[in-house]
Structure formats: structure tokens, C-alpha cells
């Protein structure tokens, strides 16, 4: 009988599967195995079997081990990852292994939290509690619990007594009970009951429309102004789904810092429903445990960041994508996938609904909902135009012309007055500046030298508290010089504002204010952000200073003022998406103000108060601004009016990069004439982390034309000798140029 041959996916940069003999082991598709590869062993995933007749068996190696104590990855999850690898032109093995928790990529059985569950045997069911001596009180308690419940877990036993497990084992030894190892269920947080809000007419209409089609694929774009109660719509939809037997719901969030608030909200409304989170702030064992609970179907609600879109979920019935416009859904290294797009694909493959929610939808989503009326499977638009709290109104937005007022330590008199007023009223304020550190530039007053990063085409940022200059791109760090390296002048000035300097400025202007800063530097410690948010809700903080981490998703009822510092650089960026991102960012951060019964105000400091973006922002009219941007994109043939890919290359010097990209241009033009090829050019940041960079842009009218070219192009670029001398990547549907 011929030996079966298995096709194994491995974490190597080769776009192929590898053939191994089963070695007499019984393995399943999706199972984790250990195989010899070169001089070492590697973890692989079984993808299928191969035709024995086409292989010289004597040259094949056998797998060394099959990990049988783990569930194999199901066909649906494998299919999604395979689709992703093909679309984003990435090696399947690397895509597959990177989608797994770190513990599943290690050469060892996955250590997970297991527990025993106990149930009565036939003998136990036919026995009576009177047969247990009265002095064995604990044993009688455990037996009574088993009679009342079909299954009890170790957690249930611990609730009876610290010694109850011992009593259960005695019942097993006597044949009255049986113990079975099961996946440990995460302990459910006990939260106080909350008042269930009444839906307004718009929310009720949205829920009704989606609930009518829960059994089929439909993509719903829930466009709701900030504070309009999108989360409450999600909750009502989840309630309809969870009544189905074993149904699971995947809720995607763009960033880790949005998970605690959403998790608390869901737990307070879904008491007793197993809920897990999946994000990079979890320890390796926590992430594996949560992932396995999701994979086994034990977890019913899964809240996760972008990687969780690949999580195996055997009973998935609904996908919700919160803040669907957010660029954090796009992976910027390895396989450059977009979790929002893959979530829609996954929903379509499973024939289930997907809900995309945002106050400022991505232009691609907006066009799918409003501009593709003749296209099948377009999104269905639902709008929430009023705030969920009846007394809450949209904040008034004022744009202050900084060229016509005298700034005090970088702040306008209007903003300082507004801050003092909120302090007097015991209300809270948020100052938004999307730049961490103390100052973006260290400037010499004599020769105008600025501190450069030696490894990047960027300036070093001043971190005054640590007396350091840091590059926020490569991580390079050095001491602040005592004199100018160029002219010897000792008068070096930090120029411009970052979060640290703004925090210091506020402490100087408003010494009585309780101030907290939220940026990547201040919340590096685990749970630091949760602690700060709790302080805000407990009225222990007067002024928040933060970056985009605070711009979206958070609900602070007593926050009535938002100040925006220094956003003008994005108005004239060479990136065609810059204005879309800025408008979304400002709409989101403005939406933090006045979410309860107190009026909100937003003050934006700018040199261009009459810019079209600010005019639309003052009206809080996303629709008209988005439609205007779509007309611009159509005229310029930028996405979503076209489909693009970016080929990037980098090396220690630029010559091989230019040679490689020039070859790629010629190759692409020879393969097809239906795709425009632009380049090669240097990007805005020509050098990053010590490597010289170049790129070329590929643009097509249809996705199919672009994919056909890329498939042929990647194969030939891989085979080219220069591809071994440089580092190159392909970014399909890039968000940043």
C-alpha cells in the first residue's frame, strides 16, 4: 500500500507547499505538525494530500510529530487565509502561521488552560444520596450538585468548597461520576445591572432593517454621527443573533485601547455570555487561551483587532466592524492585508451579515453604499443623524485663525478662556495634538541647524523629561547636545509642540488643573490606559492631553470642550488621502464633546480657517465633503475610482534599488498594457532605518487587470538575481503612498 503524501504549509518566504510522508500517523487537514526542514525542525500546517504517483517517495522525509491534543484549523478559516495570500501576493505558509497565536508557532504542544468537567454515570444516576454517609457532608453536597446539573466544572466545585474537587474524585473512583477534560471557560465578570436605553426612531429603523435579513449576506454601512448610539444598535443585533444555538459574533475594533470600554459595555448587557478579547496586549498564554475558546465555539462574543479576522469561528453568524474607516485595520508590514475588506469577504463566503459602523466612513465604503447603484452586492446605507441622548446636541465648532491672535505658549486666548471656564464649571476638557514627545524639532538659533536622524530622512524629536532626542521612525536615541554640532552655538531651542510640552504648558497656565497625558509613551505599562480612563469617568481628571488614541470611541459624559492644536500640515500633504484622514480625525475627536446633557464646544487652532475642509467640519456635513472628494478622485483617477498597488524596494544604497525597480517597470509594461506603471521614484522619506528606498505605482481600471499583472510580475521578480540583494515588498490597495 503506497504511503500517503501530505502537503504542508511552512513559515518560509516561498510561495509553495512542501510534501512529506505521513510516517504512519493519522493527520487531518488544518492540523499542526512538526517536520524536518533543512538542518532544523519547523512547525507546519497540513493543507491536504498529494498524488503518490507523481513523487519519488525515497526522496521525501516523514513528519516527526502530529499535535493531536489541539483542534485542527477548520476549512473556512484556512480558505480565508488562502484567499488573502493569493490576493495580497504573499507566501501562503507565512500568511497562515502569522495568523496563529505565538504559542502555536512554537515547537511544543500548545500549553493551554484545561479543566475537568464532572457528570454522573449510569450507576450514579441510579444511586441515592442516602447511600453516602451523613458524616461525608461535602461528598453529599457534590453529589447533590451533580444531580441538579448535567455537568459541573472545577470552577463550580470551587464555589462549593476548596475541598470539593477531592470529593468529586472520590465519586469518580467509586464509579458514580466520570471526569472529562474540557477547555477552561474564562471566568465571567460580574458587573452591576445597567439601564437599557430606549432606541430612538433611527436606531429602531436600523435594527429592524438588518434583523430582517440575518440569514443571508448583506453588507450594511451604519453611518451615524458621533454619539448617535451605534454601539446600542450593535447590542440589539447581537441579542437577536445570540438566541440562535451556539451562535458566535466577531466584533472588530481598530485599536487595543477601544477594547476595554466595549468589553465592559457588552459584559454589562450580556451577563453569562462567554466573551473573549484578542489583541497584542494579552500575554502569549492569554491570547492562546482566548483563541482556543473562540476556535472551540465556547466563546460566543469575540472582540478583536485586525488579526482576529482570521480566527477560526465554527458558528460565526455576524461580523461587526466598528470605526470601519480607521487605517489601523490595514497591516503595514508582512502580509499587507486590510481586515475590513477581509471581514466583508468572510461574511460573503459564510452568507452572513456584516455591519460597518462609522461617523466618517472610508470613501471606498461610502461609494459602495451611495455611488455604485448598478453594481451587485453594494452596501446598504443606514443613517443615524441625531445623538442617542435626547438632550445631547452636536458641539459647536470654532476655527481660530492663529495668524490674527497672539498665542500664549502656543495656545490662543479663546482656548485658554474656554479651559478656565470648564474648570470653574467642574467640567472636563480634551486637548488633541497628534504628535508625541516634547517638541518635534531642536533648532539652533544661529545657523538654523535642526537635529537629524542619521538613519532616516527625519528629524529627531525632543523628549525633554528624559533629556533625549528620539527618532519616532527607527527608534534611534541620543542625548540632547549642549551646543550646536554645526556652529558651536549653545542656544538650542525646542521648536513646536508635542504632547509633553502641551502638558507642561497647561500645568504652567492652569496650576490647579488635574492633567493626564495619553500617548504611546505614557501608556506603555499594561492597563495604564484603563486606569486613566477610569480616572476620567470618576471625575479625577480635569484636562486630557492626547494623540489619536483619544480621538474615537470613548464616551466621557462630563467632557464639554475639545481643543485641537496644530493640524495644518495635513492640509497640503502630497498624499491624496491626507484630507480624508484629517477630516475623519477631526470629526471623531470633535465628537468627544457634549455627549450627554451638557453643551459641547470644539476649538480648532489653524492658519487656514476658510479651507473647504473646515467649512464642511463646522457644518459637520460628512456626506457633502465625501461626495466632493469622490468627484476629485474620479477626476484624478485615484482610488476608489481605480485600483492601485505599490512596489517598494530598499537597500544599503540606492543603485540596486533603482536597477530593480527599472527592471520591474519594463517587465510590467511587457506583460500588459492595461495597467499604468509610474516610477520609479523616491518616497517622501527617502531613507528609513538606514536603508535607501524607492517605489513604483501600478494603477488599473479594474481589480482583475491588476491582479493578473501582479501574479505574473511577482513570479518573475522573485526569480530575478537582484531580488536577493535588496528587500522588496508589494502593497496592494495601499493606504499610504
Instruction: Tell me: do 375 and 403 sit in the same domain.
Output: no
| Angle 184-93-709 from CA coordinates, rounded to 5° | 135
Across 342-366, b (16+ Cβ under 10 Å) vs e yields bbbbbbeebebbbbbbbbbbbbbbb
Q: Of 81, 105, 129, which residue is a domain's last?
A: 105
Helix H or strand E segment including 578: helix 578-590
The pTM of this model reads 0.87
pLDDT score, position 343: 98
Instruction: Tell me: do 76 and 208 sit in the same domain.
Output: no
DSSP assignment letter at 737: -
| CB contact at 8 A, 340 and 356 | yes
> Which residues contact residue 262 at a Cβ distance below 8 angstroms, ignoring those fewer than 6 apart?
231, 251, 253, 303, 322, 553
| CB contact at 8 A, 652 and 688 | no
Q: Of 105, 132, 158, which residue is a domain's last?
A: 105
Whether 165 is covered by a domain: the verdict is: yes
Instruction: Tell me: do 280 and 161 sit in the same domain.
Output: no
Tell me how far apart the alpha carbons of residues 527 and 590 are, in angstroms, rounded to a whole number: 26
Instruction: Tell me: do 417 and 348 sit in the same domain.
Output: no
Whether 474 is covered by a domain: the verdict is: no
Smallest CA-to-CA distance from 358 within 618, 580, 605 is with 580
Instruction: Tell me: do 225 and 329 sit in the same domain.
Output: yes
Instruction: Tell me: do 516 and 429 sit in the same domain.
Output: yes
pLDDT score, position 31: 95
Alpha helices in 52-176 (DSSP H): 75-87, 92-98, 122-125, 137-148, 154-160, 164-173
- Helices 578-590 & 622-636, crossing angle to 10 degrees? 170
| Low-confidence spans in the chain with pLDDT less than 70 | 1-3, 52-55, 111-114, 181-193, 372-377, 390-392, 524, 526, 552-553
Whether 553 is covered by a domain: the verdict is: yes
pLDDT score, position 422: 93
Instruction: Tell me: do 218 and 295 sit in the same domain.
Output: yes
Whether 503 is covered by a domain: the verdict is: yes
Per-residue pLDDT tens for 102-143?
989 988 777 656 677 888 888 888 888 888 888 888 888 888
Q: Of 384, 407, 429, which residue is a domain's last?
A: 384
In this structure, is the dihedral angle defined by the CA atoms of residues 40, 41, 43 and 49, taken in order, positive or negative? positive
Strand residue runs (E) in 634-709: 643-651, 675-681, 687-688, 691-700
Question: What's the CATH number where 29 sits?
Answer: 3.40.1440.60
Instruction: Tell me: do 415 and 374 sit in the same domain.
Output: no
Our count of domains for the chain comes to 5
Smallest CA-to-CA distance from 640 within 322, 336, 379, 318 is with 379
Domain of residue 64 covers 5-105
Tell me how far apart the alpha carbons of residues 145 and 150 are, in angstroms, rounded to a whole number: 9
Whether 483 is covered by a domain: the verdict is: no
| Angle 91-296-34 from CA coordinates, rounded to 5° | 45
Instruction: Tell me: do 88 and 148 sit in the same domain.
Output: no
494-to-439, 445, 463, 487, 512 alpha-carbon distances in Å: 6, 10, 10, 17, 26
| Angle 91-97-99 from CA coordinates, rounded to 5° | 100
Question: What's the CATH number where 571 sits?
Answer: 3.40.50.300
Instruction: Tell me: do 532 and 600 sit in the same domain.
Output: yes
Whether 647 is covered by a domain: the verdict is: yes
Whether 456 is covered by a domain: the verdict is: no
Residue bearing cell 441625531: 386
Residue bearing cell 443571508: 216
Tell me how far apart the alpha carbons of residues 627 and 379 are, in angstroms, rounded to a whole number: 16
Instruction: Tell me: do 727 and 694 sit in the same domain.
Output: yes
pLDDT score, position 537: 85
Instruction: Tell me: do 228 and 328 sit in the same domain.
Output: yes
Whether 459 is covered by a domain: the verdict is: no
Gyration radius of the chain over CA positions? 29
| CB contact at 8 A, 553 and 518 | no
Amino acid at each position: 500500500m503506497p504511503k500517503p503524501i501530505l502537503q504542508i504549509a511552512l513559515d518560509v518566504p516561498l510561495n509553495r507547499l512542501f510534501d512529506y510522508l505521513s510516517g504512519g500517523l493519522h493527520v487531518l487537514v488544518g492540523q499542526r505538525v512538526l517536520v524536518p526542514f533543512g538542518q532544523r525542525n519547523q512547525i507546519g500546517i497540513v493543507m491536504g494530500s498529494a498524488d503518490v504517483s507523481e513523487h519519488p517517495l525515497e526522496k521525501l522525509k516523514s513528519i516527526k510529530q502530529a499535535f493531536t491534543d489541539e483542534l485542527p484549523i477548520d476549512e473556512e478559516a484556512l480558505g480565508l487565509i488562502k484567499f488573502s495570500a493569493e490576493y495580497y501576493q504573499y507566501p501562503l505558509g507565512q500568511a497562515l502561521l502569522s495568523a496563529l497565536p505565538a504559542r502555536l508557532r512554537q515547537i511544543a504542544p500548545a500549553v493551554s488552560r484545561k479543566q475537568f468537567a464532572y457528570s454522573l454515570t449510569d450507576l450514579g444516576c441510579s444511586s441515592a444520596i442516602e447511600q453516602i454517609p451523613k458524616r461525608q457532608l461535602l461528598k453529599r453536597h457534590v453529589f447533590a450538585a451533580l444531580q441538579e446539573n448535567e455537568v459541573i466544572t472545577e470552577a463550580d466545585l470551587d464555589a462549593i468548597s476548596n475541598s470539593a474537587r477531592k470529593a468529586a474524585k472520590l465519586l469518580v473512583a467509586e464509579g458514580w461520576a466520570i471526569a472529562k477534560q474540557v477547555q477552561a471557560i474564562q471566568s465571567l465578570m460580574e458587573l452591576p445591572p445597567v439601564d437599557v436605553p430606549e432606541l430612538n426612531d433611527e436606531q429602531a429603523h436600523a435594527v429592524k432593517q438588518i434583523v430582517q435579513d440575518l440569514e443571508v449576506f448583506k453588507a450594511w454601512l451604519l453611518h451615524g454621527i458621533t454619539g448617535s448610539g451605534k454601539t446600542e444598535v450593535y447590542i440589539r443585533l447581537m441579542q437577536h443573533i445570540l438566541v440562535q444555538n451556539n451562535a458566535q459574533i466577531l466584533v472588530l475594533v481598530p485599536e487595543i485601547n477601544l477594547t476595554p470600554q466595549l468589553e465592559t459595555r457588552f459584559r454589562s448587557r450580556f451577563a453569562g455570555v462567554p466573551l473573549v478579547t484578542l489583541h497584542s496586549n494579552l500575554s502569549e498564554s492569554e491570547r492562546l487561551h482566548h483563541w482556543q475558546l473562540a476556535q472551540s465555539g465556547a466563546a460566543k462574543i469575540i472582540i478583536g483587532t485586525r488579526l482576529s479576522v482570521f480566527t477560526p469561528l465554527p458558528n460565526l453568524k455576524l461580523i461587526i466592524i466598528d470605526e470601519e474607516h480607521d487605517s489601523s485595520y490595514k497591516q503595514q508590514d508582512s502580509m499587507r492585508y486590510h481586515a475590513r475588506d477581509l471581514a466583508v469577504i468572510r461574511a460573503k463566503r459564510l452568507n452572513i451579515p456584516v455591519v460597518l459602523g462609522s461617523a466618517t466612513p472610508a470613501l471606498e465604503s461610502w461609494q459602495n453604499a451611495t455611488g455604485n447603484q448598478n453594481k451587485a452586492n453594494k452596501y446598504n446605507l443606514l443613517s443615524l443623524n441625531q445623538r442617542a441622548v435626547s438632550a445631547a446636541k452636536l458641539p459647536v465648532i470654532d476655527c481660530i485663525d492663529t495668524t490674527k491672535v497672539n498665542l500664549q505658549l502656543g495656545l490662543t486666548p479663546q482656548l485658554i478662556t474656554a479651559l478656565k471656564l470648564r474648570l470653574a464649571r467642574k467640567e472636563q476638557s480634551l486637548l488633541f495634538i497628534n504628535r508625541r514627545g516634547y517638541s518635534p524639532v531642536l533648532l539652533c538659533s544661529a545657523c538654523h541647524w535642526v537635529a537629524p536622524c542619521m538613519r532616516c530622512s527625519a528629524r529627531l524629536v525632543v523628549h525633554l523629561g528624559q533629556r533625549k532626542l528620539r527618532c519616532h521612525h527607527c527608534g534611534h536615541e541620543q542625548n540632547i547636545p549642549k551646543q550646536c554640532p554645526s556652529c558651536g552655538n549653545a542656544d538650542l531651542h525646542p521648536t513646536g509642540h508635542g504632547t509633553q510640552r502641551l502638558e507642561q504648558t497647561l500645568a504652567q497656565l492652569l496650576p490647579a488643573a488635574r492633567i493626564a497625558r495619553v500617548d504611546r509613551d505614557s501608556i506603555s505599562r499594561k492597563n495604564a490606559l484603563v486606569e486613566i480612563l477610569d480616572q476620567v469617568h470618576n471625575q479625577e481628571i480635569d484636562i486630557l492631553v492626547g494623540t489619536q488614541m483619544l480621538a474615537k470611541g470613548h464616551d466621557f459624559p462630563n467632557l464639554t470642550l475639545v481643543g485641537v492644536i496644530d493640524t495644518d500640515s495635513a492640509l497640503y500633504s502630497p498624499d491624496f488621502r491626507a484630507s480624508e484622514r484629517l477630516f475623519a480625525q477631526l470629526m471623531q475627536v470633535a465628537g468627544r464633546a457634549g455627549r450627554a446633557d451638557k453643551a459641547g464646544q470644539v476649538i480648532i487652532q489653524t492658519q487656514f480657517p476658510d479651507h473647504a475642509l473646515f467649512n464642511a467640519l463646522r457644518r459637520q456635513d460628512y456626506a457633502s465633503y465625501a461626495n466632493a472628494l469622490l468627484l476629485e478622485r474620479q477626476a484624478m483617477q485615484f482610488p476608489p475610482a481605480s485600483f492601485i498597488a505599490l512596489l517598494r524596494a530598499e537597500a544599503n544604497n540606492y543603485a540596486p534599488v533603482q536597477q530593480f525597480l527599472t527592471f520591474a517597470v519594463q517587465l510590467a509594461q511587457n506583460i500588459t498594457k492595461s495597467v499604468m506603471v509610474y516610477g520609479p521614484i523616491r518616497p517622501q522619506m527617502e531613507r528609513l532605518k538606514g536603508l535607501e528606498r524607492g517605489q513604483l505605482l501600478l494603477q488599473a481600471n479594474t481589480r482583475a487587470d491588476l491582479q493578473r499583472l501582479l501574479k505574473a510580475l511577482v513570479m518573475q521578480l522573485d526569480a530575478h538575481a537582484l531580488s536577493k540583494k535588496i528587500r522588496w515588498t508589494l502593497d496592494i490597495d495601499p493606504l499610504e503612498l
